[in-house]
Amino acid sequence: MADLKALADAIIKGDQNTAVEITKTALDEGTPAESVLNDGLISGMDVIGDRFKKNEVYIPEVLIAARAMKMSMEILEPELAKAGVKPRGKLMIGTVQGDLHDIGKNLVAMMLKGAGFEVIDVGVDVGPEKFVEQAKATGVDVVGMSALLTTTMPSMEKTVKALKDAGLSAKIMIGGAPVTQGYADKIGADGYSPDAASAVDLAKTLVA
């Protein structure tokens, strides 16, 4: 019987070979894909997120864990689809217009995937029109924006306005080093988070 606790431990350690092996064994043995996801992968990523928030692990450890999770997800995804398992929510994320920084955005996207969200990554240098067009086309529950430059923060405000003017009901969350809760309040975003682990908590609240 595949040990899902060992799968969670493999994710925490970033041991992708073991993670993939246990994922395959669990599915071969008939363990429901949803249990493999919740009790193995998400459970491991939850621990990493919590340790990251407490500064007990740093970005490299999170990236390694996320890579192991990604490898296991590639095996699990078709089974989840077959079983009709719905993601926790659908979220779009991009770095705003004029801004090419994507390391933090990618980390947030990986943590969200690890928490069971379907994530549509629209890349960097994304203008308000593209955010609106993509949000309409994909019907996401949440639109996430990242900015690392003080000079590109105003693009967040323009995007919030464009999304609201387009009548979209998706919640909006923002983040990035120069961004604050005060700024989120000022531009009418629904939430701000300072790091990738808190972004997961926020996204869960926004789709609840």
- Interface with ligand B1M (CB under 6 A): 59, 93, 98-105, 107-108, 144-146, 148-151, 173-178, 193, 195-196, 199
Least gap, CB of 159 to ligand B1M (angstroms) = 11
Considering beta carbons, is residue 33 or 96 the nearer one to ligand B1M? Answer: 96
133 membership: H or E segment, kind and range: helix 128-138
Helix/strand/coil for 25: helix
Q: Which residues are registered as beta bridge partners of 20?
A: none
- Render 78-124 in DSSP notation, one character per residue: HHHHHTTPPPS-EEEEEEETT----HHHHHHHHHHHHTT-EEEEEEE
Considering beta carbons, is residue 44 or 176 the nearer one to ligand B1M? Answer: 176
Least gap, CB of 144 to ligand B1M (angstroms) = 3
- Distance, in Å, from the CA atom of 196 to the CA atom of 199, rounded to the nearest integer, reads 5
Considering beta carbons, is residue 8 or 203 the nearer one to ligand B1M? Answer: 203
Least gap, CB of 1 to ligand B1M (angstroms) = 36
Least gap, CB of 65 to ligand B1M (angstroms) = 14
